[in-house]
Amino acid sequence: MKRGPELLRLAETVVLPGFEGRTPPDWIRRRLGEGLAGVVLFSRNIATPAQVAGLTAALREENPQVLVGIDEESGEVTRLEAVDGSTRPGNFALGVADDTDLTEEIAADLGRDLAAAGVNLNFAPSADVNSNPDNPVIGLRSFGADPDLVARHTAAWIRGMQSAGVAACAKHFPGHGDTSVDSHHGVPYVAATAEELRDVALRPFRAAVAQGVRTVMTGHLMVGALDAAMPATLSRAILHGLLRDELGFEGVVVTDGIEMAAVSRAYGIGGASALALAAGADAICVGGEHADEATAIAVRDAVVDAVVEGRLDEERLADAARRVCELALWTTSAAHRTSASAHPAEDARTSAGPPIGLAAARRALRVTRRSSATALPLSSPPHVVELAPEMNLAIEKGTPWGVGEPLGKLLPGTSVTRLEAATATGGAIETVLAAAAGRPLVVVVRDAHRHAWQTDALRHLLAGRADAVVVEMGLPGRSDLGAVHIATHGAARVCGQAAAELLAGDPAVT
């Protein structure tokens, strides 16, 4: 097999690169005109919805059928709302509410926003069953730990998203929930047997395929029961034998970020890309960390070299390119169908009450009262201390969360202290207690059960103020902490807003 323009075109089609800037760089424009099928947007490309719409319009000037992907799960993992924080709760909160109609409405609402911004491929939802509560990367991104619950909400989310003409993507196949390693940094190992996988982790993916999900994203996971040698992204047994043959998926298989250490450390970015395509992947997502033309060219050339050297069958590459092009055609036709139809029912629903995201966040709140000494609503502006952990790379650093800021708007005079692992010392906690003297104390934690320093700080704070209110954002832990315990089941800005309303006595919150 020799190099040639057709082989280069096929390799170009299956690469989905990221780029720097809020307007398309020249190299992206040029390569879209030469055959590049799509790109991936990150928060670095996003300022406002209007700006994103302008960016995607510029991309379509070069290729009218361009795929524009984004990792917009809503909740904690948001790109479109990374600056201000998500107006919709994440999957875990939706699982707690357990109303599939609500989940579908949330996804449709988000899908309309994405479509209006010119985005037609969304790398969501997370279909992972959060079997391991200490999982460092999934957590709130999952609908829950019950595979049947996750399956029905995964299907509902896909229905809603694709009703807006935006392709959904079930991830991280074959399931990242029962792991203890973040694949950004290492190789997670799934210890489940093949039978256990089919009973738990694979149920949501079966539901996604049955619902007609357009894409599935691979997880960089070692699944010993299915392939003891290669991670799922590079495993033909998993991508072809399981996903294609057993589950019957006919859409596009897209890799998680190919530069992530779980696959690139051993094989390099280009080598992992070629191996993934040979295993059954159709599109290579790259550019989260290496958003330059040289990396995109290196991936393309590595794919071409693999064909020339006989390590990747040309027919397999052509099949992958065909699937990517068919997805682009579907998004174009779906966008036309969607724009041609109005949504009066949805518009009436959202205008008649609170925004759908806030309504969902309110429904996920759970309150446990252990003492009559602390009553809600609060009698005066409190002092709020927020214990802020370091987040994984899937969550944008600096994305707003917490209760202090929204509570300050409802109860002027509220003061806020934010402590991190390095600053949550005994002296700092004593300073907090002194600042809160004579005032209500609200302690906000986030995934406290996973961070010993938060548990220690919380114990110290409650020893000094048994009447404190504890607001637990993130995965729930112990509800017996504090005179009043409020579990939000999410850490998005809208979850903090719902909790703040409850603390301040907003009559709309029960």
Catalytic machinery residues: 184, 256
Residue 414: closest CA among 392, 391, 393, 444: 444
Phi-psi region of 144 (alpha: psi -120 to 50; beta: other; left: phi over 0): left
Give the whole-angstrom CA distance, residue 147 versus residue 136.
Answer: 19
Report in angstroms the alpha-carbon separations of 480 from 99, 369, 370, 383, 448: 27, 9, 7, 21, 13
150 CB neighbour count, 10 Å cutoff:
29
- Give me the residues paired with residue 469 across strands: 442, 484
Residue 487: closest CA among 498, 225, 136, 164: 498
Report in angstroms the alpha-carbon separations of 313 from 235, 238, 254: 15, 18, 18
Give the whole-angstrom CA distance, residue 394 versus residue 73.
Answer: 10
* All residues at 6 or more sequence positions from 253 whose CB lies less than 8 Å from its CB, including other chains: 173, 215, 216, 217, 218, 239, 243, 280, 281, 282, 283, 323
459 CB neighbour count, 10 Å cutoff:
11
Give the whole-angstrom CA distance, residue 99 versus residue 109.
Answer: 15
* 464 in Cβ contact with 55 (< 8 Å): no
Q: Name the amino acid, one letter, at 330.
A: W
Q: Is the dihedral of CA 328, 333, 339, 344 positive or negative?
A: negative
* 63 in Cβ contact with 465 (< 8 Å): no
How is 76-131 classified by DSSP, letter by letter? Answer: TB-STTTTT--SS--HHHHHHHT-HHHHHHHHHHHHHHHHHTT--EE---B-----
246 CB neighbour count, 10 Å cutoff:
12
Tokens 């924080």: give the residue.
Answer: 85
Q: Is the dihedral of CA 302, 304, 308, 312 positive or negative?
A: positive
* 171 in Cβ contact with 121 (< 8 Å): no
Give the whole-angstrom CA distance, residue 215 versus residue 283.
Answer: 10
Tokens (6 digits) for 124 = 């969501």
Tokens 């357990």: give the residue.
Answer: 98
